[in-house]
């Protein structure tokens, strides 16, 4: 321990044990405990206590004090636990009878303080930390702690109750780890007394008629099979499984959620390798639980790596049931039995679907979500009924929109329940999107596109439903098969696009900003993937979508403006924005997008659009956008000038990213040591910047490159950013300058300017900047002076300093102790850190 901390510790202990002193806040106490944990992990607790007797004294004083706050008492219990986790220290504390006084019946357990949940929680956590060795087990048995833990399982505080369950598992594991380890006999006589006691308690709880007790037992067992991996767990399951199976005989099955959790936990453990009966229990459970309760179990079973095929089939059937019922109910004519691979709608599921709106919605949403989660997994059931599932998702969506007219009574009632239900619509659209990963028969795919279009067009679709519809549509569009031998979109997709774009057009005019935003995001994604496809280009250019998108740069909602910036940037990259010169007004020059975006960057009052502009500009520079390639130097100069003045640190950071791309273009990409090496994307739009700038400047051209960088005032921007009050900006600038220095180092200095007055003035300005006086400009810099300054700054040192968290000084233990003492006036005010 730091000697200074040792010096401060007695005073702190005195403060903590003094009920008249204001109690330090919880955060400080937690930090203090963290620190003691670190100290005891690094060395001997016994030594710590011997060198700092004030700690033991604190524990004694806490016990004697009558009116101490519950937080200090809780803290002391946890502190004692930390010390007693080492067996020799445990013995040391035992000699002083301190531990029974803290954790036994004579301690807080019997007093008024016990009514505070914080004290009960501290008691449990203290014991949890303490219970690391056989002596602790004996202590627990001797002081009757296990019985108290049993009672705390039903504590009114959920935190306490949960911690009590976990402590029981920990004690059981500790007990079984010792002499019983390696034995999996279910016979209780082989097990340590402490373990026997806990298992008997679990058995009693499982047989209880009170559901909360059953739940507690099931939760404890779930934790056991999830966290304990000894062979004994197999024996435990053999012993308890009959009791668990007996729960299934009750109607309704008690604590079904916890039961499902337990069975899945056991199925994922090593038990199945020794007990094949588990699969039978799982099968029974699937058939006993209601469709809603069985869903999570079915999903869990299907996610298991190794499980009998029959059980998988049964579980898959459970998940398919609700959709099978929907398909059957909505069928216009009686179809073949078992629409979903043999899973015909059973009466029980139909009853749940029709009993109430909430039950119906809950069951359908769960089924759709579970199947959607299963779809991308390698262990999903095979064969996967893609076509019927597509049909079911489409039918659910049509029932929700009221566009299907079922003839059956069940269908009519389902329609009445589901019509306009946004929750089911969202779940079904998500599921439909997930299904895009698989193929489907032509007819089904047509239906999918048709229902998606219906939702995108419908005035009844809420903004969230529309967002999901756009997402699903994008997924289906992007998964459309390519026409063999042709790189363009297939005719069906093109036909769909022609219907889709007018809808998108209308959505971009929606009075609801969320809808406009979703529409723009959809357009951006579509353009990103299809910008080069002739069919898409043709359809888009024939529509008013590009023009509308440009108008949305003036949208009153900043999120929409940001999305419009990204979308127009993407459209422009692919040459999809420039409108042909108007024949009526040949002289009228259309304002270029570059100018408009620069205006957004300089004038927009919100950060999101400005950040979006910087991202677009960075992409444009990286991809060689034609507007940028005309005069990249001027472009970079204007952008950096605007970014350097921006109040938003993300804009400034993005400015440095753009500067880095520019450097890469001038001097070649960063080496492997650099985490964000510049790489051209595969589908880069055509541009001419690559020709305008050399990929990597040969050493001879370094001087010219530096001249360019000086002209665009990149150095002024980077140097300013180096002392930016926002650390990420300073870090990025540091990286950039280090990269530049590394690039220039092998070439030597272009001009020897180390002692020139220019260098001295720059260094002086930088020092003032570092001191916070950022008003003075650097003025025009000579490349030689820049290189000299770069060599003179300790960039590596700066990088290391920046890498440390901003409170690395303030969060030291010494600082913590000082602060806690200062808070109660023991130390002078100026000795405390301000944080």
**Binding region for another protein (CB under 8 A) out of 74-82, 182-190, 509-517, 638-646:** 509-517
Where b means 16+ CB within 10 Å and e means fewer, 704-725 reads: ebbebbbebbbbbbbbbbbbbe
Cβ of residue 615: shortest distance to another protein, in angstroms? 24
CA 810 from chain centre, in angstroms, equals 29
Pick the stretch among 128-136, 377-385, 551-559, 651-659 that binds another protein (CB under 8 A): 551-559
383 binds another protein (CB under 8 A): no
DSSP E strands in 411-519: the ranges are none
CA nearest neighbour of 657 among 715, 604, 617, 696: 617
551 lies in the binding site for another protein (CB under 8 A): yes
| Residue 518 near another protein by CB under 8 A | no
* CB atoms inside a 10 Å sphere around CB 460: 14
Q: Say whether 196 sits in a helix, a strand or coil.
A: helix
Instruction: Tell me how far apart the alpha carbons of residues 806 and 279 are, in angstroms, rounded to a whole number.
Output: 55
Q: How far is the CB of 543 from another protein (least distance, A)?
A: 11
Taking CB under 8 A as the criterion, the residue among 413, 423, 799, 814 binding another protein is 413
Q: Which of these segments, 334-342, 426-434, 481-489, 501-509, binds another protein (CB under 8 A)? A: 501-509
Q: In whole angstroms, how close is the CB of 269 to another protein at the nearest point? A: 48
558 binds another protein (CB under 8 A): no
Per-residue 3-state assignment (H helix, E strand, C coil) for 661-680: HHHHHHHCCCCCCCCCCCCC
The one segment of 8-16, 319-327, 409-417, 755-763 that binds another protein by CB under 8 A: 409-417
Assign 113 to helix, strand or coil.
Answer: helix
Select from 193-201, 413-421, 786-794, 808-816 the region that touches another protein (CB under 8 A): 413-421
Q: Give the list of residues 6+ apart from residue 400 with CB closer than 8 angstroms, or none.
A: 418, 419, 420, 421, 424, 425, 428
- In 3D space, the residue among 370, 314, 376, 372 whose CA is nearest the CA of residue 346 turns out to be 314
Q: Is 683 in the site for another protein (CB under 8 A)?
A: no
Name the nearest CA neighbour of 801 among 724, 747, 731: 731
Contacting range for another protein; rule: CB under 8 A; set: 165-173, 216-224, 410-418, 683-691 = 410-418
Distances (CA, A) of 823 to 14, 17, 18, 22: 14, 15, 14, 9
Give 415's strand partners.
Answer: none
SS3 of residue 556 by DSSP: coil
Among 521, 544, 648, 726, binds another protein (CB under 8 A): 544
CA 834 to chain CA centroid, nearest Å: 32
Select 415 or 663, whichever has its Cβ closest to another protein.
Answer: 415
Using the rule CB under 8 A, which residue among 200, 310, 512, 679 binds another protein? 512
3-state class of 320 per DSSP?
A: helix
Helices within 131-275 (DSSP H only): 134-142, 145-152, 158-177, 193-207, 211-227, 232-247, 256-268, 271-274
Dihedral, 116, 120, 126, 127 alpha carbons, nearest 10: 160
Answer whether 285's CB lies under 8 Å from 266's CB: no
Shortest Å distance, C-beta 604 to another protein: 15
d(CA 220, CA 202): 8
498 binds another protein (CB under 8 A): no
583 binds another protein (CB under 8 A): no
Q: Which of 517, 545, 513, 516 is nearest to 530 (CA)?
A: 545
Which one of 117, 341, 412, 668 is in contact with another protein (CB under 8 A)?
Answer: 412
d(CA 667, CA 698): 8
Nearer to another protein, 155 or 544 (CB): 544
Residue with tokens 């402490």: 194
| 341 backbone φψ class: left, alpha, beta (φ>0; ψ -120 to 50) | left
Q: Which residue shows structure tokens 């321990």?
A: 1
Size of the site for another protein (CB under 8 A): 33
Q: State in angstroms the smallest separation of the CB of 550 from another protein.
A: 10
Q: Is 17 in the site for another protein (CB under 8 A)?
A: no
- Backbone torsions φ then ψ of 308, nearest 5 degrees: -55, 145
Contacts of 594 (CB under 8 A, 6+ apart): 627, 628, 635
Asked if residue 407 binds another protein (CB under 8 A), the reply is yes
Closest contact distance (angstroms) between CB of 493 and another protein is 24
Taking the complex as a whole, how short is the minimal distance between the CB of residue 557 and another protein, in angstroms? 7
Tokens read off for 112: 């008024």
Considering the complex, state which of residue 554 and residue 792 has its C-beta at the smaller distance from another protein.
554
- Closest approach of another protein to the CB of residue 344, in Å: 22
Structure tokens at 401: 């929109």
Sole binder of another protein in the list 275, 557, 606, 648 (CB under 8 A): 557
**Three-class SS state of 131:** coil
Least distance between another protein and beta carbon 365 (Å): 20
292 is a contact residue toward another protein (CB under 8 A): no
Single residue of 347, 378, 511, 583 touching another protein by CB under 8 A: 511
Give the nearer residue to another protein in terms of CB position, either 383 or 556: 556
Listed ranges 290-298, 552-560, 603-611, 773-781: which one lies at the site for another protein (CB under 8 A):
552-560
Q: Which stretch binds another protein (CB under 8 A): 144-152, 189-197, 414-422, 701-709?
A: 414-422
Alpha helix (H) residue ranges in 43-97: 45-51, 53-64, 70-84, 87-95
Closest CB to another protein among 500 and 744? 500
Please, what is the minimum distance in Å from the beta carbon of residue 687 to another protein? Answer: 31
Looking at the chain, how many residues does it have?
835
Among 377, 446, 509, 803, binds another protein (CB under 8 A): 509
Binding of another protein by 425 (CB under 8 A): no
Which of 200, 207, 210, 405 binds another protein (CB under 8 A)? It is: 405
Q: Does 607 bind another protein (CB under 8 A)?
A: no
Q: Which of 272, 345, 385, 406 binds another protein (CB under 8 A)?
A: 406
Query: Distance between CA 650 and CA 618 in Å, rounded?
Result: 13
Q: Does 579 bind another protein (CB under 8 A)?
A: no
Neighbours of 530 (CB within 10 A): 22
Per CB under 8 A, 510 contacts another protein? yes
Site string for another protein, 440-479 (x = CB under 8 A): ------------------xxxx------------------
User: Which residue, 99 or 465, has its beta carbon nearer to another protein?
Assistant: 465
Of 416, 446, 542, 581, which lies in the binding site for another protein, with binding defined by CB under 8 A? 416
Tell which one of 91, 132, 479, 505 touches another protein (CB under 8 A). Answer: 505
With CB under 8 A as the contact rule, the residue among 119, 127, 271, 515 that binds another protein is 515
Burial class (CB in 10 A: 0-12, 13-18, 19+), 532: middle
Asked if residue 356 binds another protein (CB under 8 A), the reply is no
Q: Give the whole-angstrom CA distance, residue 187 versus residue 271.
A: 17
By the rule CB under 8 A, 275 interacts with another protein:
no
Interaction site with another protein (CB under 8 A): 402, 405-407, 411-413, 415-417, 419-420, 458-461, 505-507, 509-513, 515, 544, 547-548, 551, 554-557
């Amino acid at each position: 321990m730091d000697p200074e901390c040792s010096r401060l510790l007695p005073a702190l202990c005195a403060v903590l044990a003094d009920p008249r002193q204001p109690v330090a806040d919880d955060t400080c106490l937690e930090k203090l405990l963290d620190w003691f944990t670190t100290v005891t992990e690094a060395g001997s607790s016994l030594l710590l206590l011997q060198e700092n007797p004030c700690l033991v004294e604190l524990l004694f004083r806490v016990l004697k004090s009558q009116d101490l706050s519950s937080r200090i008492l809780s803290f002391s219990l946890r502190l004692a636990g930390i010390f007693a986790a080492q067996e020799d220290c445990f013995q040391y504390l035992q000699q002083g009878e301190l531990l029974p006084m803290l954790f036994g019946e004579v301690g807080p357990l019997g007093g008024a303080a016990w009514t505070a949940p914080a004290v009960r929680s501290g008691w449990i956590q203290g014991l949890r930390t303490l219970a690391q060795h056989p002596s602790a087990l004996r202590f627990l048995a001797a002081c009757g702690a296990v019985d108290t833990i049993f009672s705390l399982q039903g504590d009114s505080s959920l935190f306490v109750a949960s911690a009590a369950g976990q402590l029981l598992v920990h004690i059981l594991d500790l007990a079984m780890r010792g002499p019983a380890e390696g034995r999996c006999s279910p016979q209780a006589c082989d097990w340590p007394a402490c373990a026997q006691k806990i298992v008997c308690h679990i058995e009693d709880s499982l047989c209880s008629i009170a559901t909360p007790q059953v739940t507690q037992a099931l939760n404890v067992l779930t934790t056991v099979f999830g966290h304990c991996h000894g062979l004994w767990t197999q024996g435990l399951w053999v012993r308890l499984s009959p009791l668990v199976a007996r729960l299934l005989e009750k109607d309704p099955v008690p604590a079904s959620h916890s039961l499902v959790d337990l069975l899945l936990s056991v199925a994922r453990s090593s038990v199945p390798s020794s007990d094949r009966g588990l699969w039978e229990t799982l099968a029974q459970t699937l058939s006993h639980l209601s469709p809603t309760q069985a869903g999570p179990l079915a999903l869990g079973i299907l996610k298991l790596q190794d499980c009998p095929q029959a059980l998988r089939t049964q579980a898959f059937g459970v998940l398919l049931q609700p959709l099978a019922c929907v398909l059957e109910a909505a069928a216009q004519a009686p179809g073949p039995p078992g629409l979903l691979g043999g899973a015909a709608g059973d009466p029980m599921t139909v009853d749940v679907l029709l009993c109430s709106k909430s039950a119906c919605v809950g069951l359908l949403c769960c089924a759709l979500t579970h199947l959607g989660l299963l779809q991308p997994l390698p262990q999903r059931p095979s064969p996967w009924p893609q076509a019927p599932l597509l049909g079911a998702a489409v039918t659910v969506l049509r029932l929700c929109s009221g566009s299907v007219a079922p003839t059956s009574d069940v269908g009519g009632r389902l329609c009445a329940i589901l019509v306009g239900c946004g929750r089911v619509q969202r779940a079904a659209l998500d599921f439909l999107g997930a299904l895009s990963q698989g193929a489907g028969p032509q007819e089904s795919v047509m239906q999918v596109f048709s229902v998606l279009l219906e939702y995108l067009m419908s005035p009844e679709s809420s903004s969230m439903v529309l967002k999901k519809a756009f997402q699903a549509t994008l997924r289906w569009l992007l998964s459309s098969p390519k026409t063999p031998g042709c790189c363009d979109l297939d005719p069906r997709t093109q036909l769909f696009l022609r219907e889709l774009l007018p809808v998108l057009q209308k959505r971009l005019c929606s009075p609801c900003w969320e809808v406009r935003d979703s529409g723009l995001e959809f357009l951006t994604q579509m353009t990103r993937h299809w910008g080069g496809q002739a069919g898409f280009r043709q359809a888009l250019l024939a529509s008013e979508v590009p023009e509308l998108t440009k108008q949305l740069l003036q949208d009153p909602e900043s999120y929409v403006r940001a999305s419009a910036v990204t979308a127009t940037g993407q459209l422009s990259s692919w040459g999809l924005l420039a409108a042909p010169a108007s024949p009526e007004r040949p002289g009228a020059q259309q304002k270029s997008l570059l100018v408009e975006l620069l205006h957004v960057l300089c004038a927009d009052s919100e950060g999101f659009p400005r950040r979006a502009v910087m991202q677009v500009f960075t992409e444009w520079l990286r991809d060689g956008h034609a507007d940028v390639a005309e005069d990249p130097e001027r472009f970079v100069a204007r952008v950096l000038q605007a970014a350097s003045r921006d109040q938003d640190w993300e804009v400034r950071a993005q400015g440095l990213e753009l500067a880095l791309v520019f450097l890469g273009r001038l001097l070649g990409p960063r080496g492997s040591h650099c985490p964000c090496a510049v790489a051209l994307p595969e589908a880069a739009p055509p541009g001419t910047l690559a020709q305008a700038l050399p990929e990597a400047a040969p050493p001879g051209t370094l001087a010219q490159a530096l001249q360019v960088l000086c002209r665009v005032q990149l150095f002024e921007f980077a140097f300013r950013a180096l002392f930016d009050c926002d650390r990420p900006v300073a870090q990025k600038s540091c990286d950039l300058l280090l990269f530049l220095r590394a690039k220039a180092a092998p070439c030597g200095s272009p001009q020897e300017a180390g002692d020139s007055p220019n260098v001295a003035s720059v260094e002086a300005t930088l020092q003032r900047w570092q001191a916070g006086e950022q008003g003075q400009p650097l003025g025009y810099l000579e490349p030689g002076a820049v290189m000299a300054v770069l060599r003179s700054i300790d960039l590596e040192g700066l990088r290391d300093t920046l890498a440390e968290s901003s409170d690395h000084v303030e969060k030291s233990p010494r600082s913590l102790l000082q602060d806690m003492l200062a808070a109660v006036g023991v130390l002078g005010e100026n000795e405390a850190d301000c944080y």
